[in-house]
Structure 1
Amino acid sequence: MAAALRLSCLCFLQLLIVIVLFINSSADNSIEEAEQFQSLSNSTMANRLSGNDELRHEHAVDDPEAIASMVDMSIRNSTERRKLGYFSCTTGNPIDDCWRCDRNWQRNRRRLADCSIGFGRNAIGGRDGRFYVVTDSGDDDPVNPRPGTLRHAVIQDEPLWIVFKRDMHITLKQELIMNSFKTIDARGVNVHIANGACITIQFVTNIIIHGLHIHDCKPTGNAMVRSSPSHYGWRTMADGDAISIFGSSHIWVDHNSLSNCADGLIDAIMGSTAITISNNYFTHHNEVILLGHSDSYVRDKVMQVTIAFNHFGEGLIQRMPRCRHGYFHVVNNDYTHWEMYAIGGSAAPTINSQGNRYLAPVNPFAKEVTKRVEPWEGSWKQWNWRSVGDLLLNGAYFTASGRAAPGSYARASSLAAKSSSMVGMITSNAGALS
């Protein structure tokens, strides 16, 4: 019996050794295969990076379908983290994670057009056109702009993806009147539009403005200005907005630094809609954003605007934004300064505030986030304003009104809000990247 037991134990030990050797052999093979795959992957990436990085002036090929793009980017974001100098991915900011995770973003610039979110998500700008390189920072003649200037680029009839050869400081003599299907893309350079006129988006569609420093804009006008290769006309006085959107649609304003202009930093009026204002850094200004022309201009009921991932910083007083008539989704923004109020409105706008961080000022009389401008006492109680998941700090409070039912805010919902605890990380790179 003892001998049989010893034989049984010996057989078991031999079987255990075989199993261990098999596992080790499999692990070694797996490591070897992984190393071979990594070597191949690095070799492929090296070959890609060794290619010509200069911009190619050709028409864009067909972009992948939106769903395929989203799936592809989601997979890449969930499986790897790439560090690209001042660019990084997996930040939780869906716009930035979309394009910054691409090591070759400079050769795939037009991919940015697939990264928008919110009501302006279908703004493709100049995605389907050729590249136009701005080489001249001058603006000597607003009627007959020189080729190579920003003004010459934005007035063309064809779609264009406009980039800059080098850092530039552009002082515009008159409003920069944009034509449809244009992207201004200042990634990789330091471009200022300042100390003169600024940008007008009027009766056009599909505009992307990305990566500019826009500041110290002044009133201009009473002058002739060209708006297309075949038309120029008389412009009356402009208010001095950084970006003025007038009767236009499918507009995306992303990653700009805006401050200290004569009137507003961004105004959208006269039936403009399908707009996203994202990742911008606003500072040192009084009336920051105006959305809606007037209480009597009811055509602005079609207006839908997403305000997401922006940082409202030092030196701001009011209108972040100030809304009329339409539907406004204010989501995952960081409000660190205001002197009067953050969000205001009149003419019964619907305001859906979700996942923002509101830090009230020290002034005990300016703790309220909201301000209503009403025609008669108590009328605002019917306006649909709500706060969902907002972080209210230093005594900040949001006065809600209207119906609490989620269906009341269906037309003012444009994307899923993230937790307000993530706002600091999501907005940490707001403004022009340089």
Structure 2
Amino acid sequence: MMAPLTEQDRVVIIGAGHAGGRAAERLRAHGFAGGITLVGKEDVAPYERPPLSKSVLLRSGSEADTYLQDLAWYAGNRVTLRLGQLVTRIDRDARKVFLLDGETLPYSRLIIATGGRLRDLPVPGADLDNVLSLKTMADAVALRARLDTARRLVVIGGGFIGLEVAASARALGCEVTVVEATERLMGRAVPKEIGARVAAVHEARGTTVMLGCGVQALIGETAVNTVVLADGQRLAADLVVVGIGIAPETGLAEQAGLETAQGILVDDQCRTSDPGIFAIGDVACHRARAARPVESWQNAEQQATRVAAALMGCPAPELEPPWFWSDQGDLNLQIAGTPVHWDGAMSRGRMAEGSLLLIQMDGQQVTGTIGLNAKKDMLLMRKLLKAGCPVDADSLTDPEQPLKKTVMAALRA
């Protein structure tokens, strides 16, 4: 194990996104007085991504509202920003990072926070002018401009980003069709019944949801005007958004000889197979606890905090149960916990009455929960998940029993 950082040390962070930006903040908060350099391929300072598909598209918030810190913070805290820069190589033996412009950055410790790259749609016409995606601030600004004039939007991919874009576009008055290749929405993350309820909410707003529909081609001269489905159906479109997921950006790590699988493999301290290199955020995959990286706001926050503690020789902060949310118009969906499956999950409430909880248990212990428009209830369920204490299933699901009373009794027992 390496010694904690001193003021003579230099930390280089590759990736100036949410996780990378927070890591720089946490290092300074822990008292690190040495050099910190943040290298990012985007030309903007670190920002949070969740608002891109909501407030940025809807113009209910500005781009500046998403920034983790303003530029003055980085200058005042001696964090050097190298924005609009690509890292071409990591030399582990020399402990140097090489940039595309020829600059070389020496490091004492290296943090890789390169996130993920968008999966391409492998069909003819995917490179036409009005086929967009949404991952970066630049993507959001470009899509926002197109939504000003678009009338018929086709969203390819029924995952979280696709559905958030669909909800925002519908609120702006677009005719929206969501095309999903599998038989349910958000299939990797939620059970079929939740996907069906979410589909019903979107359809009630006037969005068309098409399940089990692959895409064969996008047709147009310079811009798409028709989406051809695998079964031959044709959908008119003057704007297409592709949201079929991301793949962890492991290229630099692989070139450097670090161990990777579904991401860069890390331990509890976010340390890679090289003791001087750490990985956090969407690119990092825990060796024991996950089959793939965890793509969430919470994960970026937690790992940034843990890596800073590890580098400074401080005790690791307690891990919170995994938690994720997606705002799709007036629908708030939250997922907490890591159940093996959702088979036999119990429900509390009814969507017809405004909110719903789906609860998965192993014996008397809650292992996972999904909430639809149930923000207060999810706060309680997350406390229960963190405590890991037994609770009576009948009381949890009985609408006549106040959930707060049931949860607090379990926490006190």
TM class, shorter-length: under 0.3
Larger RCO: Structure 1 or Structure 2 (Cα < 8 Å, ≥ 6 residues apart)?
2
